[in-house]
Structure 1
Amino acid sequence: MPACPMCTSSQTVKNGRIHNGKQRFKCHNCGRQFVEQPTKKVIDSATRELIDRLLLERISLAGIARFAQVSEQWLQNYVNQKYAQVPRSVPVAAKKRRLTIQCDELWSFVDNKGNKQWVWLALDADTREIVGVYIGARDEGAARNLWQSLPPVYRQCAVAYTDVWAAYGTVLPSKCHRAVGKETGKTSYVERFNNTLRQRVSRLVRKTLSFSKSLENHIGAIWYFIHYYNASLLV
């Protein structure tokens, strides 16, 4: 067995393989993990663009690392930086027409199912754009944050259809709020988007090993997909 490059101990053992199949070793003396004759891999722009697209699909980070042939640690650092830079607001141009939005909440969790994080969404019923987003608890404060996330033109002019969850009625102005049942179809578009979100963002699948461990990355992944989704409507 090769000697440890950290403490020079010969008490080393094989410890699996790295992403490219190269043998990895571990030192019993100091715990250092290493490979023989390591080479630093430069991740080119084509691989980064591929990863950006794969992040929009229902694939775990471990799966992306295997497919793109990068290390999981490098990928995690890349994702951390990328999600931190995603804007937490939706740019929407002023609309010169009658506005109708549909609002709904989507259950999710971070780290464990006891740490519930509800995804509150508002969708323009005509353009299908997501025009408001908030991620947090399922209470009156969260409903208020969703309302505040809407562009001013929607808060001033839009009629908002929601389910009968009480928090909406305490926050949305009564003159523009319509609480309806699912059977009316008045919230069908945003409910359909909830299904799309679960199908495309692996950390939102109900039974998954890809759940979020970090709230910041959980929020970043959702915003990343929403920006992509809105942009795809313009193509």
Structure 2
Amino acid sequence: MPTCSKCSSPRTVKNGRIHTGKQRFLCRNCGYQFVEHPTDKRIDQATRDLVDRLLLERLSMAGIARAAQVSEQWLQDYVHLKAAQTPKQAQVRPKKRGPLSVQCDELWSFVDRKGNKQWVWLAMDAQTREIIGAYVGDRSRSSAQRLWDSLPKVYRQCAVIYTHDWEAYKGVLPQKRHQVVSKDSGKTSYIERFNNTLRQRVSRFVRRSLAFSKSLRNHIGLLWNFIHHYNASLPI
């Protein structure tokens, strides 16, 4: 067996193979995983662009790694960096003061285990279909406040906000402009449709999936990555 390339310990064992089929080893002394005679592979821009597109589809990380022919470790590092760099504020077209209509809803999700619930709070402009605000947290009033704070100022000043009857919204949204409606009314149908789109397109938001998020930072970062893509794809 080769010695560990990190601590030079001879206490190494075989530990599966990397995506190219090359033997991987594990050091029992320091826990480092390595391959003999590694060859650095530079990931070109075309492959990165492909990964960016695949992250917007309902694929697991392992599936993306296979499709793009990159290692899962490189992909995980790439996603960590992308999640950290993605802006956490909606980028929407400027609106003038006047009649505006907003639909709000919450989407259940989890990170690492189903007991760790992470509710995705979303707000959509009913006219343009843009996602104008989002927040990930619990289902309390403080999370409703964070969603409200994430909206551009013009919406907080002028918009009529439609929600279902959830206690957390009360005392946060302006009483005169907050309309509590039933699902049958159709007043929240656009945001509910977006929730379905999100579950169909991003595997970590699928209710029953093995591709769930293990990191809250990545969960939030890739949510915003999809929101930016969705808003940019809307017709002007």
TM-score (norm 1): 0.92
Partner of 2:37: 37
Q: Distance in 1 between matches of 2:203 and 2:102?
A: 26
Deviation per CA, 1:26-50: give whole Å up to 9, x if none.
4566655433332111111111110
CA contact (8 A) 2:60 2:203 kept: yes
Within 5 A, what are the aligned runs for 1:16-31? 16-26=16-26
Partner of 2:75: 75
CA contact (8 A) 2:2 2:36 kept: no
Distance 1:73-1:103 versus aligned 2 partners, 3 A rule? same
Q: Distance in 1 between matches of 2:149 and 2:4?
A: 55
Partner of 2:188: 187
Q: Distance in 1 between matches of 2:107 and 2:30?
A: 46
Partner of 1:160: 161
Distance 1:30-1:89 versus aligned 2 partners, 3 A rule? closer
SS at match of 2:91: coil
Partner of 1:4: 3
- Using the TM superposition, name which of 206-215 and 12-21 deviates more: 12-21
Deviation per CA, 1:79-113: give whole Å up to 9, x if none.
10111011111122332352111000001111111
Distance 1:168-1:57 versus aligned 2 partners, 3 A rule? same
Q: Distance in 1 between matches of 2:182 and 2:209?
A: 30
Q: Percent identity?
A: 67
| Amino acid corresponding to residue 69 of structure 1 in structure 2 | Q
Question: Is residue 227 from structure 1 mapped to residue 228 from structure 2 by the alignment?
Answer: yes
Q: Name structure 2 gaps, 5 residues minimum.
A: none
How far did residue 179 of structure 1 move? 0.1
Q: Distance in 2 between matches of 1:40 and 1:143?
A: 47
- Using the TM superposition, name which of 112-121 and 15-24 deviates more: 15-24
CA contact (8 A) 1:121 1:134 kept: yes
Partner of 2:177: 176
CA contact (8 A) 2:24 2:33 kept: yes
Q: Name structure 1 gaps, 5 residues minimum.
A: none
CA contact (8 A) 1:4 1:32 kept: no
Deviation per CA, 1:55-92: give whole Å up to 9, x if none.
11111111111111111111111110111011111122
Partner of 1:54: 54
Structure 1 moving runs of 4+ over 6 Å: none
TM-score (norm 2): 0.92
| Amino acid corresponding to residue 137 of structure 2 in structure 1 | G
Distance 1:151-1:8 versus aligned 2 partners, 3 A rule? closer
Q: Distance in 1 between matches of 2:127 and 2:197?
A: 18
| Amino acid corresponding to residue 108 of structure 2 in structure 1 | W
CA contact (8 A) 2:91 2:228 kept: no
CA contact (8 A) 1:65 1:72 kept: yes
For the aligned residues, what is the CA RMSD? 1.8
Partner of 1:200: 201
SS at match of 2:213: coil
SS at match of 2:228: helix
SS at match of 2:165: coil
Q: Distance in 1 between matches of 2:207 and 2:201?
A: 12
